[in-house]
Chain A
Amino acid sequence: MSVLLIAEHNNKELKSFTLNASTAASKIDNDVHAVIIGHNCDEAAKALSELPLIKKVIQVEAAHYENFVAENFAPVIVKLAENYSHIVSSANTFGKNLMPRIAAALDTSQISDIIKVIAPDTFLRPIYAGNAFATVKSKDAKKCVTIRPTSFDPCESSGGSAPIEKADPGEEFVKTKFIKREEVKSDRPELGTARVVVSGGRGMQSGDNFKLITSLADKLNAAIGASRAAVDAGYISNDHQVGQTGKVVVPDLYIAVGISGAIQHLAGMKESKVIVAINKDGEAPIFSVADYGLEADLFEAVPQFLEELNKLNTIQK
């Protein structure tokens, strides 16, 4: 039977992790269908139909789908699920919020945050903040799987022309009302997909000092990350948090500035290709995962870093 992918979008565009989730879905079975639930989301549905991996798009429209409330989405997918062996979505806050609601309704034990498809019923997933990898095999007839987006390459985004079918919307769940979303708008690359990430920790000492991180990120065309300590201290907003309960990032270059490297932070960044740590405490655990460690006062090292980069006159990618 086929795989049903739940598309993530903002009613206009697909969210980029939908491409990673499509790749993961195609590793389970070639016959991948995608469902897009939203309001006035024709453009996003069209973009979805252009992914060559997708064989069919199912579009479900209603005003009460505008803000992606899980209580409204879940029954739609549960109804479609009878035709599918697997339901797949990203393990980001969208998928984490939604998938267990579907799994419980289907009486299926969900498999969260997989990093590899070993067989259609067998998956690899990190546990204990990535300090162990578990191989798990589902015995359920229907499988609900969320995938760690950074562990799968994004699929091609054009060239396909899957048919778009409309399906009937379900009723509104009136006990939950969306009020507002405060998105932090930025011209920077997205944290989850950036090639370079510059992160600051408690060592930054204040929100104002995060300007140093910003300058370095500007120079390297990088996204800005943070440790939980920095977010808790109010230096920077929560959408920047990297770690076990924040975002998982796998950039080509991760620069950790003033971050000690708690297990929970390492869980979110230790798969990065190259890791740089700048910390004045030579014993900080961050150095155990760093390819290049610089034991120095960040308030001297970061300005020097900027100077050196200016000298290089790096061409920004």
Chain B
Amino acid sequence: MKILVAVKRVIDYNVQIRVKEDNTGVVTDNVKMSTNPPDDNAIEEAVKIKESGKATEVVAVSIGEEKAQETVRKALAVGADRGILVKTDGIIEPLAVSKLLQKIVEKEKPDLVFMGKQAIDDDCNQTGQMLSALLNWPQATFASKIEIKDGKLEVTREIDEGLETIEINVPAIVTCDLRLNEPRYASLPNIMKAKKKPIEQLNASDLGVDINPRIEQVKVEEPPKRKAGIKVSSVAELVQKLKNEAKVI
């Protein structure tokens, strides 16, 4: 079985983002970038499946600017066998990403495609489901447990009400929740080894799909600020404030 894992380069989850003064977006210059956190879970799961002998190859793919190569390289350092970078400029919407991924899937013919359930920059939560629709494959979104049984996947999904279990045929798309596993850190020898693993570079414009934005980003603003609160010195004072000032109890 072959697993394709899509990874996205985003602003690191610990960075407090700043909105650009001209309201065209957020500041990304000189800001720490990392792999989108649930994409790390996706890579981890694929590598674990390979280690258990149930997969033969793990291919990491990223779509983005030249520097997204670092994100692919990181996936190689934790165990992916080879990488693909589809180079693009500017904003690429999930619909465009899923069309590009469809082209990669047609070429690579993986049995499974894994990715994070949501990117922490645009918070869209769309790409996996869209790719699944374009391919007419089953989708298991928000996965917190994956079991391979007789060539099928049994996936536990995190839903608002609790947990749901579904069984899907392969080939399929799985979008990963943060609770799926504990992503490993790349060891130094593996980081060195990853430098020798191949990364194929493609230009999005050569893949023959329309990736022009359909959504105009009119402006990006700071959210309204909360007014500063106070510290209370005791529980009694807290309860008194909640009762008489805030009037919420």
Question: Which of these, A132, A177, A182, A184, contacts B166 with CB under 8 Å?
Answer: A177
Determine if B166 and A178 form an interchain contact, defined as CB atoms under 8 angstroms apart: yes
Determine if B241 and A292 form an interchain contact, defined as CB atoms under 8 angstroms apart: yes
Q: A69-B166, A287-B231, A293-B232 are contacts. A110–B94 as well, Cβ < 8 Å?
A: yes
Interchain nearest-CB distance for A255 vs B (Å): 9
Give every chain A residue within 8 A of B26 (Cβ-Cβ): 127-128, 132
Determine if B126 and A184 form an interchain contact, defined as CB atoms under 8 angstroms apart: no
Interchain nearest-CB distance for B47 vs A (Å): 20
The residues in A between 213 and 249 inclusive whose CB is less than 8 angstroms from any CB of B are 220, 228, 231-232, 237-239, 244-245, 247
Q: Is A1 an interface residue (CB 8 A)?
A: no
Give every chain A residue within 8 A of B215 (Cβ-Cβ): 109, 111, 136-140
Interchain nearest-CB distance for B111 vs A (Å): 13
Give every chain A residue within 8 A of B188 (Cβ-Cβ): none
Q: Is B98 an interface residue (CB 8 A)?
A: yes
Number of A interface residues, CB 8 Å?
Answer: 89
Determine if B98 and A104 form an interchain contact, defined as CB atoms under 8 angstroms apart: yes
Interchain nearest-CB distance for A162 vs B (Å): 26
Give every chain A residue within 8 A of B144 (Cβ-Cβ): 238
Interchain nearest-CB distance for A79 vs B (Å): 14
Q: Is A62 an interface residue (CB 8 A)?
A: no
Interchain nearest-CB distance for A292 vs B (Å): 5
Interchain nearest-CB distance for A131 vs B (Å): 5
Q: A109-B213, A122-B218, A180-B164 are contacts. A314–B249 as well, Cβ < 8 Å?
A: yes
Q: A136-B218, A252-B248 are contacts. A100–B120 as well, Cβ < 8 Å?
A: no
Q: A105-B133, A138-B214 are contacts. A70–B139 as well, Cβ < 8 Å?
A: yes
Determine if A110 and B160 form an interchain contact, defined as CB atoms under 8 angstroms apart: no
Which chain B residue lies CB-closest to A78? Answer: B133
Determine if A112 and B130 form an interchain contact, defined as CB atoms under 8 angstroms apart: no
Interchain nearest-CB distance for A272 vs B (Å): 10
Q: Is B34 an interface residue (CB 8 A)?
A: no
CA distance in complex: A239, B160 (Å): 6
Q: Is A206 an interface residue (CB 8 A)?
A: no
Interchain nearest-CB distance for A287 vs B (Å): 7
Q: Is B202 an interface residue (CB 8 A)?
A: no
Segment touching B, from A24-32, A51-59, A80-88, A300-308: A300-308
Q: Is B13 an interface residue (CB 8 A)?
A: yes
Number of A-B contacts (CB under 8 A): 259
Which chain A residue lies CB-closest to B216? Answer: A137
Give every chain B residue within 8 A of A110 (Cβ-Cβ): 94-95, 124, 126, 130
Give every chain B residue within 8 A of A184 (Cβ-Cβ): 161-162
Which chain A residue lies CB-closest to B10? Answer: A128
Q: Is B217 an interface residue (CB 8 A)?
A: yes
Interface of A is mostly: mixed
Which chain B residue lies CB-closest to A134? Answer: B220
Q: Is A40 an interface residue (CB 8 A)?
A: no
Q: Is B16 an interface residue (CB 8 A)?
A: yes
Determine if B16 and A131 form an interchain contact, defined as CB atoms under 8 angstroms apart: yes
Segment touching B, from A91-99, A153-161, A163-171: A91-99
Determine if B154 and A179 form an interchain contact, defined as CB atoms under 8 angstroms apart: yes
Q: Is B165 an interface residue (CB 8 A)?
A: yes
Give every chain B residue within 8 A of A294 (Cβ-Cβ): 231-232, 234-235, 238
Question: Which of these, A100, A137, A232, contacts B126 with CB under 8 Å?
Answer: A100
Which chain B residue lies CB-closest to A239? Answer: B162
Determine if B179 and A292 form an interchain contact, defined as CB atoms under 8 angstroms apart: no
The residues in B between 156 and 210 inclusive whose CB is less than 8 angstroms from any CB of A are 157-169, 172, 177-179
Segment touching A, from B52-60, B62-70, B77-85, B221-229: B221-229
Q: A132-B26, A179-B167 are contacts. A173–B229 as well, Cβ < 8 Å?
A: no
Determine if A93 and B160 form an interchain contact, defined as CB atoms under 8 angstroms apart: yes
Interchain nearest-CB distance for B163 vs A (Å): 5
Q: Is A211 an interface residue (CB 8 A)?
A: no
Provide a sorted-by-A list of 26 A–B residue pairs whose CB atoms are within 8 angstroms: A70-B139, A74-B133, A97-B129, A100-B130, A103-B130, A104-B98, A105-B133, A108-B214, A109-B95, A110-B130, A111-B215, A127-B26, A127-B121, A175-B169, A181-B159, A181-B165, A184-B162, A238-B162, A253-B242, A263-B14, A264-B13, A275-B229, A294-B232, A294-B235, A305-B235, A308-B239
Nearest 10 pairs between A and B by C-beta? A100-B129, A109-B214, A104-B130, A104-B133, A100-B126, A304-B235, A291-B229, A175-B169, A135-B218, A308-B239
Residues in chain B within 8 A of chain A (CB atoms): 11, 13-14, 16-17, 19, 26, 38, 93-96, 98, 117-118, 120-134, 137-139, 141-142, 144, 154, 157-169, 172, 177-179, 213-223, 226, 229-232, 234-236, 238-239, 241-243, 246, 248-249
